[in-house]
Amino acid sequence: MEIKKILVANRGEIAIRIMRTAKDMGIRTVAIYSEADRNALHVRFADEAVLVGAPAPTFSYLNMDKIIQVALSLNVDAIHPGYGFLSENALFAQKIKDAGLIFIGPSPTAIETMGSKLKAKETAASHQIPLVPGTETAITDMQEARKIAGEIGYPILIKASAGGGGKGMRLVEHANDFEDQMKRAVSEAMAAFGDGAVFIEKYIRSPKHIEIQILGDQHGNIVHLFERECSIQRRHQKLVEEAPSAVLSPTIRKQMGDHAVKIAKACNYYSAGTVEFIMDENFNYYFLEINTRLQVEHPVTELITGVDLVKEQILIAEGKPLSFSQEDLKIKGHAIELRVCAEDPLNNFLPHTGLITNYITPKGPGVRVDDGYEQNLEVSIYYDPMIAKLICYGTTRDEAISRMQRAIDEYQITGIATTLSFGKFVMQHESFQSGKFDTQFIANYFTPNSLAPSVNSETEKVAVYIADLLFHQKSSSTNNISPPAEHKTNWGIRKVFK
């Protein structure tokens, strides 16, 4: 079926990203928006826009029935969920299908199967894909769980089966802490996902986070589009991503790609998806999970392969076969992405919402900005604080790094704190430049003092000392906890560095 009109069930930069490709393909677009997003860019960018509810996502961007009702009333052919919100909700995908519409994404069955980490691990194990040592089923009995943890050996991770983004995840270093952390993980999982199921796995210290982009059609054809390195994270959420990885050999790259395709075929997967792995210092890799959607970091893959992943998603949803094979795909150049978030690196990366008073994006060779904001728009407390994605491409990794540094210098955002300065710190750090970094990059190398240009006066020295002290106190107190809800900023400290 030819798609002529798409409703994008999302907001911000990803909504605009999808609409741009749709317009390139001659497809009309419909935006939905909440009361907080009346003036948002994605509302103005779409051909049509409909208010769906109050600012809180539950009443707007998560309101399945309302979204489908809008789609039907406007004679929409298909719904694209973007990422986040309802993108990995099997019930939403099924409701769309039952309404006679097309869901631009994988089948409800694949979403349900791979949306559960336990089911995904079971599928991976049945196809001889390496797994981190741990439990194969959900753990509910405390004594049995304690016994299993002891057999695996500390440190261990307790992880929510239905979760992601660090929610319901607890690191346990010692047996004496197990019961308390177990209760906390179950409570967090229930609060975040309505599902308290958790499992236990061995904690791999200082791993690399490597993911493989997959793409499949509805005719059984599946390919991988190589890897992305996503190891620079805070609170288990990515901040810097690149493609390809600086350290993977062609042999390991092929092995990981083959395993990703293998697990995708096991669940009859189609559309775009990502198979995530963790890798230890000896380049042993282990299956982590599958994200059954487009990833935030998909642009770096697009730049090194020349494939528009959103366009391919739409063509696959129309029932068309892939127009290329694995042999047709080649890596060309290098791409790096920085998530530009309204977060304060000087204050433990806490959200820093408010009005953007100045906004000028970088330009020039090899620079791409996917954003959803402009000057005089407000970053709302109701949604993810990401403002934009800054992506830089070069023929070599060194060139991509240089262009990223230049682009960060050109990017002007005032009125709120952002992660731009942190991105510059990463690009200039020897560990990143050499490729010898892992998920502990922030813990190992970064403090607020890292961003201080110069410290001369006694007042500045005291401010830096306090900022470092607060950073370390908050880092230790938020051990494997999802981001705090408060949106506080230490203005006294910020004045020193702005």
424's tokens = 């510059």
**Residue 362, phi-psi category: left (phi > 0), alpha (psi -120 to 50), beta (remainder):** beta
Torsion of CA 22, 230, 351, 172, to 10 degrees: 140
Q: Residue 239's domain is classified under what CATH number?
A: 3.30.470.20
- Same structural domain, 358 and 233: yes
Pairing of strands 354-355, 28-34: unpaired
pLDDT confidence of residue 459: 53
pLDDT at 496: 30
Phi and psi torsions of 154, nearest 5°? -75, 150
Q: Please tell me the distance from the alpha carbon of residue 25 to that of residue 3, in angstroms, as a whole number.
A: 10
Does residue 310 belong to any structural domain of this protein?
yes
285 with 307, same domain: the answer is yes
Three-state secondary structure call for residue 286: strand
Task: Find the distance separating the first CA and the last CA of the chain, reported in whole Å.
Answer: 54
Specify whether the CB–CB gap between 2 and 27 falls below 8 A.
Answer: no
307 and 439 in a single domain? The answer is yes
Q: How many CB atoms are closer than 10 A to CB 44?
A: 11
**Burial grade of 221 (CB within 10 A; 0-12, 13-18, 19 or more):** middle
pLDDT at position 81: 98
Residue pLDDT tens, the chain, 498 long: 899 999 999 999 999 999 999 999 999 999 999 999 999 999 999 999 999 999 999 999 999 999 999 999 999 999 999 999 999 999 999 999 999 999 999 999 999 989 887 788 888 989 999 998 888 778 878 888 899 999 999 999 998 887 666 677 899 999 999 999 999 988 888 887 888 888 898 898 889 999 999 999 999 999 999 999 999 999 889 999 999 999 999 999 999 999 999 999 999 999 999 999 999 989 999 999 999 999 999 999 999 999 999 999 999 999 999 999 999 999 999 999 999 999 999 999 999 999 999 999 999 999 999 999 999 999 999 999 999 999 999 999 999 999 999 999 999 999 999 999 999 999 999 999 999 999 999 999 999 988 866 444 455 556 555 666 666 565 554 444 333 333 333 333 332 332
Give the separation between CA 445 and CA 427, rounded to whole angstroms. 13
In angstroms, the CA 362 to CA 159 distance is 39
Residues ≥6 apart with Cβ < 8 Å to 20: none
For 481, counting Cβ atoms within 10 Å of its Cβ (0-12 exposed, 13-18 middle, 19+ buried), the class is middle
Is residue 255 in some structural domain?
yes
Alpha carbon distances (Å) from 153 to 173, 179, 288, 432, 448: 10, 15, 19, 31, 34
Looking up tokens 């600086």 gives 246
**Which of 202, 220, 254 is the last residue before a domain boundary?**
202
Taking the C-alpha atoms of residue 279 and residue 57, their distance in angstroms, rounded to an integer, is 35
Note whether 214 and 169 are same-domain residues.
Answer: no
Beta bridge partners of 277: 210, 287
User: Do 317 and 438 fall within a single domain?
Assistant: yes
Would you say residue 111 lies in a domain? no
Q: Which domain holds residue 491?
A: 447-497
Number of structural domains the chain divides into: 4
Please tell me what DSSP assigns to residue 176: G
How far is Cα of residue 290 from the mean position of the Cα atoms in its chain? 12
pLDDT at 364: 97
Tell me, yes or no, whether 338 lies in a domain: yes
Ramachandran angles phi, psi of 297, nearest 5°: -90, 15
Taking the CA atoms of 110, 132, 163 and 139 in sequence, report the sign of the dihedral they define: positive
**Domain-located, residue 291:** yes
Together in a domain, 166 and 283: no
- Among residues 104, 121, 142, the one where a domain terminates is 104
Do 70 and 173 lie in one domain? The reply is no
Is 110 a domain residue? no
Asked if 467 and 414 sit in the same domain, the reply is no
Burial class (CB in 10 A: 0-12, 13-18, 19+), 224: buried
**Is 100 within a domain?**
yes
206, two tokens: 């200082």
Q: How far apart are CA 135 and CA 150, in angstroms?
A: 12
Residues 93, 218, single domain; the answer is no
Dihedral sign for Cα atoms in the order 329, 129, 317, 237: negative
Domain shared by 74 and 17, yes or no: yes
* Spatial distance between the Cα atoms of 104 and 337, rounded to a whole number of angstroms: 25
Number of H helices, E strands in the chain: 17, 22
Q: Which of 17, 170, 228, 293 is catalytic?
A: 293
User: In this structure, what are the phi and psi dihedrals at residue 200, rounded to the nearest 5 degrees?
Assistant: -120, 140
CATH number at residue 88: 3.40.50.20
Reply yes or no on whether 228 is catalytic.
no
157 shares its domain with 46:
no
In sequence order, which ranges of 284-336 are alpha helices (DSSP H)? 298-305, 309-317
pLDDT at residue number 480: 44
CA atoms within 13 A on the CB side of 137: 3
Residue 122 within any structural domain of the chain: no
Same domain, 333 and 263: yes
Burial of 491 (0-12, 13-18, 19+ CB in 10 A): exposed
Please identify, among 88, 104, 120, the residue that sits at the C-terminal boundary of a domain. 104
